[in-house]
């Protein structure tokens, strides 16, 4: 049981970071970022390149992943989303753009890194063993790192000036603009930050699970689910959603193992029932 | 009257002109491509209808898959004629969509979009898990559609005995597509259509002046899923097989992209969008490994320069925007 819980917490911390980026972008721009999973994969490959191939320190690789994705995110917002949002008659059009960007990143990743599964050397060796718990040290380290990132993200959103500006934007775009918040600038920063989070998680997980070019889509779907569980556009909701999904996966894999590969079927069905009872998720505003 | 003439002329071109051109050039493979476009545009038309009531539907792949499986199971296990299973598959999907739609149509915006996306995954996983669908190995060797005879006269010949089953499937698909878009055009320009448009603009306001919004959106969703089911059923008959991976999230997303690309404001948008996307993808096949890169770059460019769809180029359409 302790093992299941520990796995759940470890998974949940990763998931929560992915969901945070997605929900941040959604709350600022009302854009459902279909390319989030692809951004995650790109981050994973950059860490693979810097740490695995060039042999530079892991921290530097993580930094490179985050920085690259932040630039990608900022460019995508400034060059693409901004103009489409301004000129389109219906705001759903951004979904086509997001899906096209997802295809584009998929193609770029495939061309640059090929379709092979890539892994990197372990950052720390050894396994923590006690009576109830077996956990490799690198998982513990990555889990702790993820928790630290979540905490610093929350502090940043709560106390820094850009964080306050972004929260104001998410609450009411027009009112924030009237109060002198530079909407365009903070939308770009927010998009860059969201993309950066995806890249950083990708970089961290490549150490444990490796990375391949095909997992972007499934990761996006998982991220959507976490955001839905917690409520779209709410920081606390994304964190809760991430941990809940991580826990459900961990419990499901150990309990439902006997019935075959139905963990995800059960989770999806439970989610649909949950959402029909509580459409806005755990903490979301009604109608997003 | 002019519109009716144009529609008849378009249908004549598709049913007579295209087969003639194909016979003249000997490009028989085009039949399969065009048939796919016709069927996918039927499913996309369903997605368009949900857009019309203001919902983003990324779950059409689920209903296409259900439709395909229902038709396949009825033909293989119960020995029904394909022509009978076609409406049955559609009706089954419509019934399923009413059950599913009643709770989830209360959701809006991205919430609805994400739930329908998850629905596609649920149906795929169900098809993997249920015993009747034969799991991952799918159902293969499904017999081709048989003949329809009425009072001893053969109306539709047995497809298995035809020399050109591809041509037959092409004609069936084009007729279905014409029926679907004709019906959709009538629906959009009817009283119910106007009420649906009021949902797209403001549900609360519509409700406050006495529009039964719950009924209308379930109705629109049921029609949408019916079209998805029919499209999936014919697809299954052409390929004579169906697998859990026949329609996946990618297909659901593509159905939605077809609508966007053609233009959400135009009834015939999904048809144009499907045609352009499907043929564009096929044409780019020659570019090999750069196929996806060029395709997605074009999509992004299209979105930047024509954010309201291809049909927004038409000056006539701009005046009578729907």
Which residues fall within 8 angstroms of residue B203, CB to CB, at 6 or more apart? B54, B108, B213
Kindly determine whether residue A101 and residue B296, on different chains, have CB atoms separated by under 8 Å.
yes
Taking only the tens place, the pLDDT of each residue in B251-274 is: 888 888 888 888 888 888 888 889
Whether residue B320 has pLDDT greater than 50: no
Least Cα separation, residue A45 to chain B (angstroms): 18
B59 contacts: CB under 8 Å, gap ≥ 6: B115, B116, B117, B119, B120, B252
- Residues facing residue A136 across a β-bridge: A127
Q: For B215-219, B220-224, B311-315, which range has the lowest pLDDT when averaged over its residues?
A: B311-315
Within 100-129 of A, beta carbons closer than 8 Å to B belong to: 100-101, 103-104, 106-108, 110-111
Which residues of B touch chain A, with CB atoms under 8 Å apart? 51, 56, 100, 103-104, 106-111, 113-115, 117-119, 121-122, 125-126, 128-129, 249-250, 253, 256-257, 260-261, 264-265, 289-290, 292-293, 295-297, 299-300, 303-304, 307-308
Q: Is A78 exposed, middle or buried (0-12, 13-18, 19+ CB in 10 A)?
A: middle
CB contact under 8 A, A104 and B125: no
Q: State pLDDT tens for residues B186-214.
A: 988 898 888 888 888 888 888 888 888 88
The distance of B168 to chain A (nearest Cα, Å) reads 34
Who among A96, A104, A224 is closest to B260 (CB)? A96
- Confidence tier at B31 by pLDDT (50, 70, 90): confident
Q: What percent of chain B has pLDDT over 90?
A: 17
CB contact A160 to B (< 8 Å)? no
ipTM above 0.85, yes or no: no
Note the pLDDT tens digit of each residue in B34-70. 888 999 999 999 999 998 888 888 889 999 999 999 9
pLDDT at B153 over 80: no
Is pLDDT above 70 for B137? Answer: yes
Residue B242 and residue B73 in contact, taking contact as beta carbons nearer than 8 Å: no
pLDDT in tens, A46-97: 999 898 888 888 889 999 999 999 999 999 998 888 888 887 777 777 888 8
Q: Checking phi first, is residue A163 left (phi over 0); if not, alpha (psi -120 to 50) or beta?
A: alpha
Instruction: Please say if the pLDDT value at position B223 is more than 80.
Output: yes
Which of A199, A160, A141 lies closest to A20 in space, CA to CA? A199
Residue where the block lists tokens 């249920």: B130
- Predicted TM-score (pTM) of the model is 0.85
| Neighboring chain A residues of B115 at a CB cutoff of 8 Å | 228, 272, 275
- Secondary-structure breakdown of chain A: helix, strand, coil percentages, each rounded to the nearest 5: 75, 5, 20
Stronger pLDDT, B33 or A257, i.e. the higher one: B33
Domains with residue ranges and CATH for chain B: 24-319 (1.10.3470)
pLDDT at residue B319 greater than cutoff 80: no
State the DSSP H helix or E strand holding residue A129, giving kind and residue range, or none if neither: strand A127-129
Q: Using one digit for the tens of pLDDT, what is the confidence trace for A162-171?
A: 999 988 888 8
What is the residue extent of each domain of chain A? Answer: 2-214
Cβ neighbors of A185 (< 8 A, separation 6 or more) are none
Residue in B249, B102, B227 with CA at minimum distance from that of residue A268: B249
């Amino acid at each position: 049981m302790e093992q299941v819980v520990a796995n759940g917490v470890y998974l949940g911390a990763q998931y929560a970071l992915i969901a945070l980026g997605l929900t941040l972008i959604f709350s600022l721009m009302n854009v459902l970022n279909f390319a989030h999973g692809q951004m995650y994969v790109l981050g994973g490959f950059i860490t693979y390149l810097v740490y695995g191939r060039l042999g530079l320190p892991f921290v530097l690789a993580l930094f490179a992943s985050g920085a690259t994705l932040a630039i990608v995110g900022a460019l995508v917002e400034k060059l693409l989303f901004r103009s489409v949002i301004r000129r389109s008659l219906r705001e759903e059009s951004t979904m086509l753009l997001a899906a096209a960007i997802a295809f584009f990143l998929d193609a770029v990743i495939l061309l640059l890194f090929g379709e092979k599964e890539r892994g990197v050397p372990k950052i720390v060796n050894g396994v923590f063993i006690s009576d109830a718990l077996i956990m490799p040290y690198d998982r513990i380290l990555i889990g702790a790192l993820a928790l630290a990132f979540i905490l610093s993200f929350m502090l940043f959103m709560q106390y820094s000036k850009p964080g306050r500006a972004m929260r104001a934007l998410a609450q009411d775009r027009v009112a924030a603009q009237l109060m002198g918040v530079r909407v365009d600038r903070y939308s770009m920063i927010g998009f860059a930050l969201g993309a950066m989070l995806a890249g950083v998680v990708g970089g961290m997980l490549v150490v444990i699970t490796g990375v391949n070019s095909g997992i972007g889509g499934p990761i996006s779907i998982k991220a959507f689910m976490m955001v839905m569980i917690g409520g779209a556009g709410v920081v606390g909701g994304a964190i809760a959603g991430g941990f809940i999904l991580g826990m459900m996966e961990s419990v499901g894999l150990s309990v439902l193992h006997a019935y075959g590969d139905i963990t995800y079927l059960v989770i999806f069905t439970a989610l649909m029932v949950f959402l029909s009872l509580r459409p806005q998720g755990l903490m979301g505003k009604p109608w997003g | 009257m002019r519109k009716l003439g144009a529609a008849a002329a378009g249908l004549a071109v598709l049913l007579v002109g295209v087969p003639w051109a194909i016979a003249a050039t000997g490009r028989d493979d085009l039949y399969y491509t065009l048939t796919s476009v016709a069927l996918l545009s039927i499913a996309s038309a369903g997605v368009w209808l949900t857009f019309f009531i203001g919902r983003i539907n990324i779950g059409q792949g689920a209903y296409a898959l259900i439709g395909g499986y229902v038709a396949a199971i009825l033909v293989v296990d119960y020995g029904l004629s394909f022509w009978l299973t076609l409406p049955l598959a559609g009706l089954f999907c419509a019934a399923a969509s009413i059950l599913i739609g009643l709770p989830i149509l209360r959701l809006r915006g991205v919430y609805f979009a994400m739930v329908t996306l998850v629905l596609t995954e649920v149906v795929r996983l169900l098809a993997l898990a249920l015993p009747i669908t034969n799991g991952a190995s799918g159902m293969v060797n499904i017999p081709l559609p048989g003949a329809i005879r009425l009072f001893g006269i053969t109306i539709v010949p047995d497809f298995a005995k035809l020399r050109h089953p591809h041509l037959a499937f092409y004609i069936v698909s084009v007729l279905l597509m014409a029926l679907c878009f004709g019906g959709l055009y009538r629906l959009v320009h009817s009283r119910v259509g106007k009420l649906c448009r009021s949902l797209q603009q403001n549900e609360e306001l519509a409700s406050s002046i006495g529009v039964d919004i719950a009924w209308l959106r379930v109705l629109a969703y049921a029609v949408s899923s019916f079209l998805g089911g029919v499209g999936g059923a014919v697809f299954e008959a052409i390929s004579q097989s169906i697998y859990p991976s026949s329609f996946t999230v990618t297909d659901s997303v593509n159905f939605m992209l077809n609508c966007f690309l053609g233009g959400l404001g135009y009834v015939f948008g999904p048809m144009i969008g499907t045609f352009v996307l499907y043929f564009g993808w096929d044409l780019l096949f020659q570019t090999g490994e750069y196929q996806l890169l060029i395709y997605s770059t074009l999509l992004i460019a299209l979105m930047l320069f024509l954010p309201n769809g291809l049909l927004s180029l038409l000056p006539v359409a701009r005046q009578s925007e729907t």
